[in-house]
Amino acid sequence: MIKYYSGDFIGLCYDHAKVKEIHPGEVFDMLCPDCDHKDCGNKNENFKIEKDISYIFNNEAFRCDDLDRNFSKDNFLFSGCSVTFGMGIPYEKTWPYQLNQMLGGEKLFNIGLPAGSFKSIIFDVFSYLRKYGKPKGVFILFPPLLRQPVIKNDKLSTLPYYRTDHPGSDAALKILNNETMLFEFSRLVGILDDYLNELNVPFVWGTYEPGLDKILRGVNISKNYVSVVENQKAFEYANSIPESERTKYWLKSRDGHPPVFEQSVFAKAFLDKYNS
């Protein structure tokens, strides 16, 4: 259990009933990298495993190039949850991959992982900085706030207490409500924002969750925030991509996560903010 308190990467959250351990260098062709949906709560008869999407894990069990301190200062760092990881779409169509190409990045360092919460995402960014040094820039796409990382039986999981059918939801909602989580979120993002500013590392962040986006646009807590869900220029860009460059996952991913069209919107919105 000490690994969760040592300052190293928090790593993958295990939310499914039937978990498969993930190790560096492994390749998975399943719907999710840790679950085939045959025995878990996400079972859906319409799901089918298609071999054209594989999840290939690097030296730290992330879906990107091997992390390397020698290349950090010349490349960008990306983080988020399953949307940033690219669940249900080809690796080359994820928003970090697209944005990295737009920025001319040589290596792709994407530490986004399924079931990530805003806390685990921020903690892992600090862990990256500690272990690999400062990158050329940091981009983060945050999930909804109502996710809480918890450790049970020496496994890290995410308590999705916005789900009323989840054990412990009632108790959690009495304490960890929207206002409380927004307070914690704003403070943690502020700490990361200040730290990256001291390092002179550009930082751009947003969220794909419409409700949170509306709040953040209203309170204006950071000059580095960009709306990726209310961004007309980014939508126009994605719509202008030629049919020949689109995949069968353009409007629908394999498992219901944001498809390639939305990933392209995210990438363009981040790019414009970075260049502004």
* pLDDT per 10-residue tile (average), the chain, 276 residues: 74 57 80 65 58 87 95 97 94 97 97 92 96 97 87 72 54 69 94 97 97 91 94 97 93 91 98 97
Number of H helices, E strands in the chain: 9, 8
Cα dihedral 42/124/57/40 (nearest 10): -10
How many CB atoms sit inside 10 A of residue 39's CB?
Answer: 10
pLDDT of res. 17: 44
Tell me whether residue 15 is in a domain. no
Give the CATH number of the domain where residue 167 resides: 3.40.50.1110
How many CB atoms sit inside 10 A of residue 32's CB?
Answer: 24
Tell me whether residue 19 is in a domain. no
pTM across the whole model:
0.91
CA dist., res. 150 & res. 152, Å (int): 7
The number of domains in the chain is: 1
pLDDT of res. 45: 56
Cβ proximity of 72 and 129 under 8 Å: no
CA dist., res. 141 & res. 88, Å (int): 17
Which domain covers residue 102, as residue numbers?
A: 2-9+68-275
Cβ proximity of 156 and 13 under 8 Å: yes
Tell me whether residue 49 is in a domain. no
pLDDT of res. 32: 76
> Cα 119 to chain center, whole Å?
12
Tell me whether residue 88 is in a domain. yes
DSSP E strands in 133-202: the ranges are 137-142, 148-152, 155-159
Pair type for strands 203-207 and 148-152:
unpaired
Tell me whether residue 41 is in a domain. no
For the chain, how far is it from start to end, CA to CA, in angstroms?
A: 43
pLDDT of res. 157: 74
CA dist., res. 57 & res. 228, Å (int): 27
CA dist., res. 215 & res. 221, Å (int): 10
Tell me whether residue 225 is in a domain. yes
pLDDT of res. 106: 95
Tell me whether residue 62 is in a domain. no
Tell me whether residue 27 is in a domain. no
Cβ proximity of 124 and 111 under 8 Å: yes
